[in-house]
Copies of this chain bind each other. A is one copy, B any other.
Amino acid sequence: MLRFFLLLLLLGAPAALPAPRHRRGAALPTGTYLTRYLRQQVDHFGFDEDLTFQQRYLIADQYWRRDNGPILFYTGNEGDITWFCNNTGFMWDVAEELNAMLVFAEHRYYGESLPFGNESFSDSKHLNYLTSEQALADFAVLIEYLKTTTAGARYSPVIAIGGSYGGMLAAWFRMKYPHVVVGALAASAPIWQFGDLVPCGTYFSIVTNDFRKSGTGCAESIRNSWNAINNLSLTDAGLQWLSNTFLLCSPLKSPQDAVLMKNWLSETWVNLAMVNYPYKADFLQPLPAWPIQEACKFLKDPSLPDKLLLQNVFQAVNLYYNYSGAVSCLDMSETATKNLGQMGWYYQACTEMVMPMCTDGVNDMFEPQKWDFDVLSEECYRLWRVRPRPSWILSMYGGKNISSHSNIIFSNGGLDPWSAGGVTQNISDSLVAIVIPDGAHHLDLRSRNPLDPKSVQQARALEICYMKQWIKEARHSH
């Protein structure tokens, strides 16, 4: 866990490294699916290492028209695929309408799809095959396998669907393997959160706006809380008070621990922004509808003295970690679901997925912190013996120069901080952006809900319309 915090620390803001995350709500009951495995090359791009591993995938064909009906293919991201399967209600909701087969493919190095079993994360040698390119190759091989071995699937048009990093993979999959998928729905996919494609501060200013709009004094209270913590962390009594007030499972012992605490709080606010959904939902912990509004009810007065201010901050934080009221202490090391593979994502953030993030304390409510690549690089070398290559992803996937591709929907929620790195304007007739003003992180991929705002209903309708169009075009061209 030390590693975890150190990594967070150096990136200045907790959410900088853990990247696009899925925190979807209570899974509505989805249909049944089969769990299967396909033997994949550990290294698609070299022939010296001829090892293989079992990639897990889930398959549901109860709605599928066996006469080359379409396949909706979830491009699994940094977590257990069953969790994505159970939390991507949209695919289940449209399966019948499209007579589609659903396939959820697990990303290598996550869930059960570990190329070297327990040794997978042991060193840089074993981690060497954890890249987006290898993952896309797995997907391509899996789809070719399914199409050649499943009766009636030979000419099935396949549509890639993913959210967050999975959305990036869906978009990149269509870009790199257009012969395999006829189109892609890339939900909340920050494919431009790289290099200098977007300002590094937008992400946190969106978080801040979410809080600003959700209650008077709310963002300002959080902005003021950092100094309050700094003041208290100067003395042992202050650290003790912080530990008690925030019900911390492990008490703070030094000002350094207070830095960890601030990172933990920052990540909490970021997570709340990502999952600021319009209805009660069940994450790691259950949350009420519009949780930021609820949290902001505790944060109306930014001018309170330090201890009173922080007691209010605790109430807000407690809402996120202890809405059920069943938690006896708050564990700073657990901010997200265990279904996400942190080790794997941290390695990816230390290699390909270098997403510059920064805060300035003016346009956002966080302590100012510049983006510092060198510090990241040193830490990555210390942790994994690898150096990040920040320009590689741009060379590989084209940065903003993607207009020659086709059939990709980029959907983004206006409330989602990850929209900062997303495609929010149409690039061409067939590279379209859908913005959901009231949406947080890939709300559109969640199951239908009576409390869905009109904007997400329309977004889904449009997504389905495009998918039908792709399917139709594929039939014609076949």
Contact = CB atoms under 8 A, between A and B. Distances in A.
A179 B399 contact: yes
Given A45-B134, A47-B351, A48-B386, A404 B128 contact: no
Given A45-B133, A47-B387, A395 B140 contact: yes
A403 B477 contact: yes
Q: So how many copies of this chain end up in the complex?
A: 2
Nearest to A400: B179
A437 interface: no
A144 B396 CA distance: 11
Given A47-B387, A351-B47, A386-B50, A395 B144 contact: yes
A219 to B, nearest CB: 38
Given A178-B404, A179-B402, A404-B178, A47 B389 contact: yes
A398 B179 contact: yes
A127 B48 CA distance: 8
A46 B128 contact: yes
Contact of A387 (B50, B129, B394, B395): B50
A137 to B, nearest CB: 7
A297 interface: no
A105 to B, nearest CB: 14
A159 B426 CA distance: 26
Interface string A119-134: 0000011011101011
A147 to B, nearest CB: 11
A115 to B, nearest CB: 12
Interface in A151-183: 176-180
Which of A48, A387, A391, A399 is packed against the most chain B CB atoms within 10 Å?
A48
A179 B128 contact: no
Interface string A382-421: 0001110101101111110111111100000000000000
Given A140-B395, A178-B398, A399-B179, A131 B45 contact: yes
Given A47-B351, A406-B404, A398 B131 contact: no
A141 interface: yes
B477 A44 contact: no
Given A144-B395, A386-B47, A395-B141, A179 B401 contact: yes
A10 B134 CA distance: 33
Contacts of A396: 137, 140
A137 B46 contact: no
A40 B180 CA distance: 30
Contacts of A46: 43, 45, 128-129, 131
Contacts of A134: 45
30 contacts: A43-B46, A44-B392, A45-B45, A45-B133, A46-B129, A46-B131, A47-B127, A47-B128, A47-B351, A47-B352, A47-B386, A47-B387, A47-B389, A48-B125, A48-B127, A48-B128, A50-B387, A137-B396, A140-B395, A144-B394, A178-B398, A178-B404, A179-B398, A179-B399, A179-B401, A179-B404, A180-B395, A180-B398, A403-B477, A404-B406
Top 7 A-B pairs, shortest CB-CB distance: A179-B398, A48-B128, A179-B401, A178-B404, A47-B386, A46-B128, A47-B351
